[in-house]
Chains A and B, each alone.
Chain A
């Protein structure tokens, strides 16, 4: 008999469900395309050139930005705003909400970001170089583009949302953190609809590439599609990518009332902190975060069917996460592990939300997509039932656990259930 998670004992107005998802990823601009490419082993990593750094690799999104924005708004805003507007608009469309008649004051926007403002600041400094750094040529658009709430604010402006909007700065745990914030605000009845997830424009700042390169953590490979290779013995770093993934979240009571399509129920979550290092992860704290999420959800480790790992392709990060996962899931014969960054690179603030999205169709097709580019599995990354290179059909998929960790020791875990 399958044990019930504790969420099912809550009243329907405390149970939170996902009723729509919109996304843009380097290998797809909707859930179906992303999923098909994850099952087919299609990478979205390509060659990329950026000022000062030169030729490198990146995951680049290619969507019709003017579908949901005027050219003027694209010019005035930021890339983070544009990917966020795309994802939020597509999520609403797919949720079946009668958006024109939704009370916009009851909509909250909660968007995770790894960083924000670097792109615009670099652009302005680059531009005023032509004027001998005379700041009278510094754009008046700089402040509205770089305030930390910019991506969420642009979504609010575009959609006419008058409820709360803000970003959640949580390094690369931000996608999960945005969703968690949405869950909390819905449970508090601070809003009736939450647009929650994460965005990243990071490929447009040379600083992030240069910093990873200086750290020895920027992926290189002659074949771009093979560059992002978590768990492989020869992995050599991160592929930086842009992306966005935003969910429509609602209380189950509201979703049932309008007969909404339900992608998944959010069963549990946890966020904690290593408090040990600026960049190096702490597997003990990561394990504690996973265990806290399981405990809050009333779940045993062996009830999880798929763990979507955070692994980014760095030498220590991947092996440290595996230490954490082995300690939690040792002896569990059911759980399978995979990784999305091996296909699309690291979409930073969007990663947590986007990587979860690509796994959601498992609830219907019972297939666990793989982690690709594992030519020689690193012994330090051994995980029983790590799904390497080819997708695997599972007997059942009831629960997915999604890891997302970030610098300064932030760890986040989200658990969702088939509905």
Chain B
């Protein structure tokens, strides 16, 4: 997956776990929590969805990388590089 495809995938996950949010104006460089109502259970949803969809494992100590869209994509790119977008 390219970085753009990973971003689309994260957006799709966010739209599922936060269906009331308008994601069209999301600033990739600001933290998700600054822009959306996300709590720890929501971040676990992101982790779970990546595990279910792509078998990507994110160790608990690395959850901090999911703070913003930019940091999430940068963190996931090496893990998802070889995955072919369905």
**A→B interface (CB under 8 Å):** 70-72, 75-76, 131, 136-137, 139-141
In the complex, whether B4 has a CB less than 8 A from a CB of chain A is no
Q: Please, which residues of chain A bring their CB within 8 A of the CB of B45?
A: 140
Of listed B17, B18, B20, residue having the most chain A CB within 10 A: B20
Within the complex, the shortest CB–CB distance from A330 to chain B, in Å, comes to 58
In angstroms, how far is the closest chain B Cβ from the Cβ of A123?
A: 14
Given contacts A72-B17, A72-B37, A140-B44, 18 further A-B contacts (CB under 8 A): A70-B20, A71-B19, A71-B20, A72-B18, A72-B19, A72-B20, A75-B17, A75-B19, A76-B41, A131-B52, A136-B51, A137-B48, A137-B51, A137-B52, A139-B48, A140-B41, A140-B45, A141-B41
* Interface size grouping (class) on chain B: 10 to 19
Can you list 22 A-B contacts (CB < 8 A)? A70-B20, A71-B19, A71-B20, A72-B17, A72-B18, A72-B19, A72-B20, A72-B37, A75-B17, A75-B19, A76-B41, A131-B52, A136-B51, A137-B48, A137-B51, A137-B52, A139-B48, A140-B41, A140-B44, A140-B45, A140-B48, A141-B41
In the complex the two chains form, what is the Cα distance from A131 to B48 in whole Å? 13
Q: Which residues of B contact A (CB under 8 A)?
A: 17-20, 37, 41, 44-45, 48, 51-52
User: Chain A residues with Cβ under 8 A from B18's Cβ?
Assistant: 72
Residues of B within 8 A of A71 (CB): 19-20
Contacts of B37 in A (CB 8 A): 72
CA distance A232 to B20 in the complex (A): 48
Contacts of A70 in B (CB 8 A): 20
Which A residue sits closest to B55, measured CB to CB?
A131
